[in-house]
Amino acid sequence: MSARAQRAVQPIDYAMIIGSVTLAATGQVMMRLGMSSLGGEELVETILAGLAEPLVLLGFACFVISSLSWLIVLSRVPLSVAYPFGALSYVIVVVVALITGEQISALRWAGVALIVAGIWLVGGTRTGVAE
């Protein structure tokens, strides 16, 4: 933030952060679904074919909206609070992978739990230190 006084992070700010991260993760999943049938043998042809896939285009749209909402977040929330929430995208992608039939190991779930704990410890406190 600039020279103006730093305001307290509001619940709406956290909602915007989570919404932005969710849109980014959704975009990633959509692009993966759209690209999964293309093979990926030839670089240029794969990229051009991907740009014609509706799910890839929807994924890009999610990223654009996510980026625009992230700009609003950055104008309102200290970076040290907002940025750790980006790790939520890993959590969202693992949950989506589970829903779509992937097997998730206990070790991976332990990693997800550590990510959530880290987000809470680093991003969920005002100073980054348990208060």
Q: Is the pLDDT of residue 129 over 50?
A: no
Q: Report, as an integer, the average pLDDT of 111-127.
A: 82
Domain-located, residue 47: yes
Q: What is the 3-state secondary structure (H, E, C) of the chain?
A: CCCCCCCCCCHHHHHHHHHHHHHHHHHHHHHHHHHCCCCCCCHHHHHHHHCCCHHHHHHHHHHHHHHHHHHHHHHHCCHHHHHHHHHHHHHHHHHHHHHCCCCCCHHHHHHHHHHHHHHHHHHCCCCCCCC
Domain-located, residue 65: yes
Q: Report, as an integer, the average pLDDT of 57-84.
A: 94
Name the domain count of the chain: 1
Domain-located, residue 112: yes
Domain-located, residue 41: yes
Domain-located, residue 115: yes
Global pTM value: 0.79
The residue range of the domain holding 85 is 11-123
Domain-located, residue 100: yes
C-alpha dist (Å) from residue 55 to 2, 29, 31, 95? 39, 9, 6, 19
Domain-located, residue 55: yes
Q: Report, as an integer, the average pLDDT of 65-72.
A: 96
> Which of 3-12, 55-64, 68-77, 78-87 shows the lowest mean pLDDT across its residues?
3-12
